[in-house]
Structure 1
Amino acid sequence: MDLNLTKLPTKTYTQEEAFEASLAYFDQDDLAARVWLNKYALKDSQGNLYEKTPDDMHRRIAKEIARIELQYPNPLSEEKVFSLIKKFKYIVPQGSPMAGIGNPFQIASLSNCFVIGNEGRSDSYGGIMKIDEEQVQLMKRRGGVGHDMSHIRPKGSPVKNSALTSTGLVPFMERYSNSTREVAQDGRRGALMLSVSINHPDSEDFIDAKLEQGKVTGANVSVRIDDTFMKAVKAESSYVQKYPIHSAQPKVSKSVDAKALWHKIVHNAWKSAEPGILFWDTIIRESVPDCYADLGYNTVSTNPCGEIPLCPYDSCRLLAINLFSYVEEPFTKKARFNFELFKEHVAYAQRIMDDIIDLELEKIDAILNKINADPESDEIKSTERNLWLNIKKKAQQGRRTGVGITAEGDMLAALGIRYGSEKGNAFSLQVHKTIALEAYRASVHLAKDRGAFPIYDANREKDNPFINRLKEADSQLYYEMLEYGRRNIALLTIAPTGTTSLMTQTTSGIEPVFMPVYKRRRKVNPNDKNVRVDFVDEVGDSWEEYLVFHHRFKQWMAVNGIDTSKNLSQEEIDGLIKKSPYYKGTSNDVDWLSKVRMQGAIQKWVDHSISVTINLPNDVPEELVGELYMKAWEVGCKGVTVYRDGSRSGVLISTGEKKEETPETNLSVFPVKRPQTLGADVIRFQNNKEKWIAFIGLIDNRPYEIFTGLADDEDGILLPRWVNEGLIIKNRDEHGVSRYDFQFKNKRGYKTTIEGLSHKFNPEFWNYAKLISGTLRHGMPIDKTVDLINSLQLDSESINTWKNGVVRALKRYVANGTKAKGQHCGHCGSENLIYQEGCLTCQDCGSSKCG
């Protein structure tokens, strides 16, 4: 709880009141209203709403920022802060800061992302388990987490325990992945980045780990690639991998064909969009915090989206500046970018970010107070307490910030400049250079008034390439920094802005518009009148299609006197787009190499990194992915992500023979008669805050049957938490009645049997389970089975809860990349949804819905 709040808010609103008010606020944008209401409106754990519109939220944030400002010279007033953040027009705190600032109902961090790690790179079981616990503790406080695995000894290395040799990286990847999937806060899924150095002897196993369906489903994975490896690829020469990595006296060393390993990375990225690539030498060489590496600011990994490289136990908060709002008279021949106002606001943004660090330190104190007050023993609490003490120390010493942008695509279109053109790239570079200079200038001025970050040392930074670019561009700024220091160790990033862009009603982050106009479907109920049925899906549901215009495209239409209410034909839509400034500037149109060059040029003025995706059509050859990766390294990108349309559909599905399959050929011929014994997965989840458990019988790693219901309850299944697999055995009881038993091995290796799953669950659940299992056994694709279950019209609330549980369990087995038909994104309305790691992921805005 915030330390300075004297009383809790008391006035509450109903969901209906708040939705209607926020709908009016967003000019009848249903999607933006629901996103704000569900994610950011102030509410307590009982669901009581204390904010009616985003004005209330922005007032809450402005009060807290103004309170911190009073501690420093020349404080900003609450009204001034409110004017900068209201209506999402200029400065937009992102995610955790927006939800958490001034929130007395939630003991959570304001940081969006963290990186953790062991001092001394310990790969003992104790060190590995410590990281696992720290990861979970951070995720329960709403943070995304990254950590590197390069310190873990390779497979087959000798160890002094009963195993005798090390298992290598992959089993621990699965452990960390599983921990991520177990943690969810208010429906929010955990986010994890795992990285490893290409110099590690197990890096190829790491690269392949996610190709096997059902493995490492709770993490993004990236490979840290050094310049030596890239040069070896170009020279088609060998490359030496070592453990410890880059050691002069390695315990393990082996030579690999660099080009062959490079082709493996490229192939897997082309096929499944992973692993991502981190150009590690570029990251370290350019990193200002790494000038303080010996003081604990050595970068080891990145956050889950890759835009913030961090040292162990450091964290970062995010804020976006809405670039579109600085275009005056947008979409006209008089359109111009107001650089003077922009410079002023960049300085305010950096100042607000520094205030948010003070608010974060208060939040950390509240977390520590909560830990100290918890009834567990100090021994149990020690890891969590030390974790937050380490995070507090890093935040105090470095005061790292994450000022970024959104609406780059709309800004260019409003100026009449095509995204991806030479003119567009040049203008974007000018904007980002301005951000860098003005944010650093603001940090210097803050240091003059408030003091520099405690470990600032100009001499340490004198050879840093980023600092020297600032010096060359503005010598006065540089010499002021020598005199006063700087308030923050690093300042800038470009993050994805999925839900933020929905509320700013602009394009996301640095990305172009995905589609200026698209179709959305609305389900037609049998009793609806005066509706048009345009589409009937596989299960017989009717849908009406209607046009959705990107907000700023609609603004362009209005400026040019085009009727936005007219029901347009596809030919008319195509004609409109061709006339608009968005023509040839969508994510599917932009020249891929041009986008890479743009990212490399802008990266020179961003001291952290950039989250950007290069979208490719399905039919591009693998060689193009390799070419894009190589170009990204050559132009100075710190990382790169390539997504080929539908690239997650072809994955390997068994631990046996590695046979490539597609969804169309992935229908195993199941035996007509159920085998007596099936291997089974155990999946736990929550439904309406109740603990549930599912038993999934498998044949060839595909679901054959499912039983699910309440867990850890006097009427349900009591099963140790560590059990996640076993056998389902079909038996008969003493009366000859068939039953299904679950058998697992206890920790001593003895077999334990739970008899009669059918008797443990509600009979109504069991009857539906037999129905669903029947569809699975006859080979219905799992995504179609999920659609069928979703379409069931059930009267009983408990059965609907059961239905949701079955869907959540089965989604985990849908092949990554399978397109979800007849559904649209709950954030941006797009129909471009795919199954990814058991969740529905929008390829347009990046939002993910799990469960």
Structure 2
Amino acid sequence: MEKQTYSYDEAFQSSLEYFQGDELAARVWVTKYALKDSFGNLYEKNPDDMHHRIASEIARIESNYPNPLSHDELFDLLKGFKYIVPQGSPMTGIGNEFQVASLSNCFVIGFDGDADSYGAIIKLDEEQVQLMKRRGGVGHDLSHIRPKGSPVKNSALTSTGLVPFMERYSNSTREVAQDGRRGALMLSVSIKHPDSESFIDAKLEQGKVTGANVSVKVHDDFMQAVVNNTPFNQQYPINSANPTVIKEIDANVLWKKIIHNAWKSAEPGVLFWDTILKESVPDCYADMGFRTVSTNPCGEIPLCPYDSCRLLAINLYSYVVNPFTKDAYFDFDLFKKHVAFSQRIMDDIIDLEMEKIDRILEKVKSDPESEDIKLTEVQLWEKIKRKTAMGRRTGVGTTAEGDMLAALGLIYGTDEATDFSEKVHKTVALAAYASSVEMAKERGAFEIYDTKREAGNPYINRLKEADPKLYQDMAKYGRRNIACLTIAPTGTTSMMTQTTSGIEPAFSCYYKRRRKVNPNDPEVRVDFVDEVGDTWEEYFVFHHKFVTWMEANGYSTTKHYSDEELEEMLAKSPYNKATSADVDWLKKVQMQGRIQKWVDHSISVTINLPSDVTEELVETLYVEAWKSGCKGCTVYREGSRAGVLVSASKDKKKEDEETEEKQEKDKKCFCYTEVSVRPKELDCDVVRFQNNKEKWIAFVGIMNDRPYEIFTGLSDDEDGILLPKNVTEGKIIKNVSEDGSKRYDFQFTNKRGYKTTVEGLSHKFDPEFWNYAKLISGVLRYGMPIDQVIKLVSGLQLNSESINTWKNGVERALKKYIPDGTTIEGKQCPNCGQETLIYQEGCLSCKSCGYSRCG
């Protein structure tokens, strides 16, 4: 029987009704989560269809075990995103026959020990890409790579250190995109590593490591050296009793650099590694392959090599009865019941993942490629399958913490609110572990469970003290899952639950939006006239649960409020002084530490700070996070992503001596100063893209780590440029003949070292393309900021349809080089109307509402 399909508009309109007019939620669901095939055909009309799909598959697995949950019971838990919400890959992939992909959100790869050969490093690169193409986010640690200058037994004689390999892994990540979804990567290194300072600085250099998050693994002895102002020894190998390299450093100097860079650019994040290892239940089995080595891209799942995890969130707001009234209370009985169901569902999803891995292996083995090409991917998935089966790791989490607290009349960040949050997460821990023990009775424990191994673990002993009967049962029957809990950033999931994200407070209770209007309409209200004379009506968009508070307290949700009225109303609400912009940051860190005691993995949380905070405050927050028992900490200072990358300059020493004040001034004032003379040979990136059905290619010449020139054209017709698919970089060679005429040749080197040259690059392009390429290259080489170059290209008034297609290609190729966080001045978000659009990895992203668009 042929499945029914829907147009985008049909699915959007149905979903818009489902989400009660919330356009953002409807578009997010249709775009990211509705079942579709590779041709874009939609097979689900609204989230009810998706939840029936997921419920059917989980019910199928449940039928293999005693006391199974039915399809209807599961659907009731999932529908409306009210109680239990599978996240990301599980939501997309469960029951999806159109996609051969994993259900895991997170993977870590690497080596359980030191492996610093070039072959090992390249193997990780290949494994990383193979996982990303199956929708997984990947993390791996670089502490195994020998430091720069170390002797090696090859033609190079000495090692290049960490940074070149950071770039390699980052570039591989940027190349992978599935259905418009970029790969996600976490790179980490131990503070003990002699190259850790270079690692910490790597992302400050223009265009470097743009495809990865970076975090430094900080150890207790380093923090003690910082506190005591004593020296600290770095070494390689980092865990060796007889290291080959020892380097004494000033711990405070390196710590200040971490703080400065985090203040300046929001990276690196900090992982308090000894806390992670000490608290980790899986590390009780470290000698059996479960030694934690890194985390997933957002840091909430520390993992051992070749383990993975799937995520699910419980909507805390839905357990508040009579929200925003004096009779509000939290239904702990229903909550504990649903936590147990969540743990059970997560265990079922492991079985579904094992089926998915079998499909992946079957697909790879049936591919027509030679066995040696397929070997790495086959071995990779076999290792992941084995580790998944051994530990049966799950990631039950929560979302809507901020709304839950407000609905109970508690102010986020106060001691009273934090006490209640800790009580909720203690309940999650005890109920989830009890469910895992119950499943061990019915389904069997994870295969290497050993009570004695876990006897000294602080987390397990915390559970033992809180519930002795639970511990007795666990010692008797075992546990189904090696680890159970996390708190992830729920991102787009929270848009569909229409709540705050993870344990975060509300971002804002309301924001202003504009709608263009006809000033001649007698019913219209004109609030704003822009620079070209267009007229706009302004109105406020409210946070969903703030609307619920308004309704519960007798406020009109249709009235046009003034700014003063809104401020007065907010002051009376439980959201007052409790949004991300004004919550007490130190209290937030302490709250994270309190909750972390009951989460066996980790917590992804960001401390949002205003732009004018000092580096000293950032340091205070990081130290408090360490003392409070947090496993990691990340800060984001408003605007810190913009201007992170240093500009190209003829005199680097002079640039380094410029004051911050002058650098800020230079960002606002564009001066036409030629940066350098073009050498005969220029390194080149190759950017491939598609306009409608045409395949295009762009050659982007790079000087001083920024675009210097760009040529674009067709890559697949008779007069176009044909290059092997694996070519992503090369050189552009400028040849000048005796008569002064110029010719540009493109040269690339294949894997075997042979050089191939495409001669006469200029002649491969339509004359119009060539002339405009020279125009754009001219402004690039004179140092015009990339976002302004794109704005210039976009504004060209051209009549030729082919030239306009060329414009789109130039814009798409250059967006890759815009520094993350660059603000788009004067342009409103099409969703919320705020002028808060920034570039993030070449895509537009709105800081106010989360809207994003690529391409």
TM-score (norm 2): 0.93
For 2:95, the aligned partner's letter is: G
Give 1:4's aligned residue: none
Tell me the distance in 2 between the aligned counterparts of 1:25 and 1:777.
51
Residues 801 and 477 of structure 1, relative CA distance in 2, 3 Å threshold: farther
Give 1:114's aligned residue: 107
Mean Cα deviation higher: 784-793 or 581-590: 784-793
Match of 2:69 among 57, 69, 76: 76
Tell me the distance in 2 between the aligned counterparts of 1:197 and 1:407.
33
Tell me the distance in 2 between the aligned counterparts of 1:530 and 1:719.
60
Tell me the distance in 2 between the aligned counterparts of 1:628 and 1:646.
19
Give 2:248's aligned residue: 255
Q: Is the 8 A contact 1:712 1:719 kept in 2?
A: no
Match of 1:686 among 686, 689, 698: 689
1:471 and 2:464 correspond: yes
Tell me the distance in 2 between the aligned counterparts of 1:539 and 1:295.
68
For residues 600-645 of structure 1, give each alpha carbon's deviation from its aligned partner in whole angstroms, at most 9, with x where no partner exists. 1100000000000011111111111111111110110000001111
Superposition map of 1:56-75 within 5 A:
56-75=49-68
Question: How far does residue 776 in structure 1 lie from its aligned partner after superposition?
Answer: 4.3
Q: Is the 8 A contact 1:520 1:831 kept in 2?
A: no
Tell me the distance in 1 between the aligned counterparts of 2:561 and 2:738.
66
Tell me the distance in 1 between the aligned counterparts of 2:604 and 2:830.
22
Q: CA RMSD in A?
A: 2.9
Mean Cα deviation higher: 706-715 or 407-416: 706-715
Superposition map of 1:725-736 within 5 A:
725-727=730-732, 729=734, 731=736
Tell me the distance in 2 between the aligned counterparts of 1:533 and 1:677.
58
Tell me the distance in 1 between the aligned counterparts of 2:632 and 2:265.
17
1:652 and 2:655 correspond: no
Match of 1:206 among 199, 205, 225: 199
Question: How far does residue 18 in structure 1 lie from its aligned partner after superposition?
Answer: 1.1
For 1:716, the aligned partner's letter is: G
Superposition map of 1:185-334 within 5 A:
185-334=178-327
Tell me the distance in 2 between the aligned counterparts of 1:186 and 1:733.
50
1:724 and 2:713 correspond: no
Residue segments in structure 1 that go unaligned for 5+ positions in a row: 1-6
Superposition map of 1:801-816 within 5 A:
801-816=805-820
For residues 400-435 of structure 1, give each alpha carbon's deviation from its aligned partner in whole angstroms, at most 9, with x where no partner exists. 000011111111111111111111111111111110
Residues 43 and 750 of structure 1, relative CA distance in 2, 3 Å threshold: closer
For 1:683, the aligned partner's letter is: V
Match of 1:549 among 535, 538, 542: 542
Question: How far does residue 534 in structure 1 lie from its aligned partner after superposition?
Answer: 6.1
Question: How far does residue 750 in structure 1 lie from its aligned partner after superposition?
Answer: 8.8
Tell me the distance in 1 between the aligned counterparts of 2:850 and 2:94.
25
Question: How far does residue 455 in structure 1 lie from its aligned partner after superposition?
Answer: 0.7
For 1:131, the aligned partner's letter is: L
Tell me the distance in 2 between the aligned counterparts of 1:337 and 1:330.
9
Q: Secondary structure at the match of 1:461?
A: coil
1:832 and 2:825 correspond: no
Give 1:30's aligned residue: 23
For residues 259-287 of structure 1, give each alpha carbon's deviation from its aligned partner in whole angstroms, at most 9, with x where no partner exists. 11111111111111111100000000000
Superposition map of 1:201-600 within 5 A:
201-521=194-514, 545-600=538-593
Tell me the distance in 1 between the aligned counterparts of 2:290 and 2:629.
22
Question: How far does residue 122 in structure 1 lie from its aligned partner after superposition?
Answer: 1.4
Tell me the distance in 2 between the aligned counterparts of 1:246 and 1:644.
34
Q: Is the 8 A contact 2:406 2:412 kept in 1?
A: yes
Question: How far does residue 692 in structure 1 lie from its aligned partner after superposition?
Answer: 3.4
Give 1:148's aligned residue: 141
Question: How far does residue 652 in structure 1 lie from its aligned partner after superposition?
Answer: 2.3
Tell me the distance in 2 between the aligned counterparts of 1:51 and 1:698.
45
Q: Is the 8 A contact 2:434 2:470 kept in 1?
A: yes
Tell me the distance in 2 between the aligned counterparts of 1:194 and 1:479.
40
Q: Secondary structure at the match of 2:472?
A: helix
Identity over aligned residues, as a percent?
A: 69
Tell me the distance in 2 between the aligned counterparts of 1:455 and 1:751.
53
For residues 654-674 of structure 1, give each alpha carbon's deviation from its aligned partner in whole angstroms, at most 9, with x where no partner exists. 494462664641445334998
Mean Cα deviation higher: 97-106 or 527-536: 527-536
Mean Cα deviation higher: 725-734 or 536-545: 536-545
Question: How far does residue 819 in structure 1 lie from its aligned partner after superposition?
Answer: 1.4
Question: How far does residue 757 in structure 1 lie from its aligned partner after superposition?
Answer: 3.3
Q: Is the 8 A contact 1:118 1:131 kept in 2?
A: no
Question: How far does residue 704 in structure 1 lie from its aligned partner after superposition?
Answer: 4.4
Q: Is the 8 A contact 1:663 1:818 kept in 2?
A: no
Tell me the distance in 2 between the aligned counterparts of 1:276 and 1:47.
37
Tell me the distance in 1 between the aligned counterparts of 2:341 and 2:742.
71
Tell me the distance in 1 between the aligned counterparts of 2:148 and 2:528.
53
For 1:652, the aligned partner's letter is: V
Q: Secondary structure at the match of 1:121?
A: coil
Question: How far does residue 804 in structure 1 lie from its aligned partner after superposition?
Answer: 3.5
Residues 296 and 675 of structure 1, relative CA distance in 2, 3 Å threshold: closer
For 1:580, the aligned partner's letter is: S
Question: How far does residue 801 in structure 1 lie from its aligned partner after superposition?
Answer: 4.8
Residues 299 and 547 of structure 1, relative CA distance in 2, 3 Å threshold: same
Tell me the distance in 2 between the aligned counterparts of 1:701 and 1:135.
25
Mean Cα deviation higher: 485-494 or 641-650: 641-650
Q: Is the 8 A contact 2:171 2:209 kept in 1?
A: yes
Residues 458 and 848 of structure 1, relative CA distance in 2, 3 Å threshold: farther
Residues 796 and 542 of structure 1, relative CA distance in 2, 3 Å threshold: farther
Give 1:3's aligned residue: none
For 1:781, the aligned partner's letter is: P
For 1:218, the aligned partner's letter is: G
Mean Cα deviation higher: 739-748 or 751-760: 739-748
Question: How far does residue 518 in structure 1 lie from its aligned partner after superposition?
Answer: 0.6
Question: How far does residue 836 in structure 1 lie from its aligned partner after superposition?
Answer: 3.5
Q: Is the 8 A contact 1:502 1:827 kept in 2?
A: no
Residues 825 and 636 of structure 1, relative CA distance in 2, 3 Å threshold: farther
Q: Secondary structure at the match of 1:459?
A: coil
Residues 452 and 746 of structure 1, relative CA distance in 2, 3 Å threshold: closer
Q: Is the 8 A contact 1:726 1:745 kept in 2?
A: no
For 1:188, the aligned partner's letter is: R
For 2:493, the aligned partner's letter is: T
Residues 674 and 197 of structure 1, relative CA distance in 2, 3 Å threshold: closer
For 1:431, the aligned partner's letter is: V
For residues 446-477 of structure 1, give each alpha carbon's deviation from its aligned partner in whole angstroms, at most 9, with x where no partner exists. 11111101111111001000000000000011
Question: How far does residue 706 in structure 1 lie from its aligned partner after superposition?
Answer: 2.5
Q: Is the 8 A contact 2:585 2:607 kept in 1?
A: yes
Tell me the distance in 2 between the aligned counterparts of 1:733 and 1:334.
90
Superposition map of 1:13-52 within 5 A:
13-52=6-45
TM-score (norm 1): 0.93
Question: How far does residue 833 in structure 1 lie from its aligned partner after superposition?
Answer: 3.3
Mean Cα deviation higher: 120-129 or 244-253: 120-129
Question: How far does residue 817 in structure 1 lie from its aligned partner after superposition?
Answer: 2.8
Q: Is the 8 A contact 1:502 1:828 kept in 2?
A: no
Give 1:669's aligned residue: 672
Tell me the distance in 2 between the aligned counterparts of 1:374 and 1:433.
48
For residues 199-226 of structure 1, give each alpha carbon's deviation from its aligned partner in whole angstroms, at most 9, with x where no partner exists. 0111111111111010111100000011
Q: Secondary structure at the match of 2:452?
A: helix
For 1:665, the aligned partner's letter is: D
Tell me the distance in 1 between the aligned counterparts of 2:497 and 2:132.
27
1:173 and 2:166 correspond: yes
For residues 501-545 of structure 1, give each alpha carbon's deviation from its aligned partner in whole angstroms, at most 9, with x where no partner exists. 000011111100111101234578999998777667789988664
For 1:833, the aligned partner's letter is: L
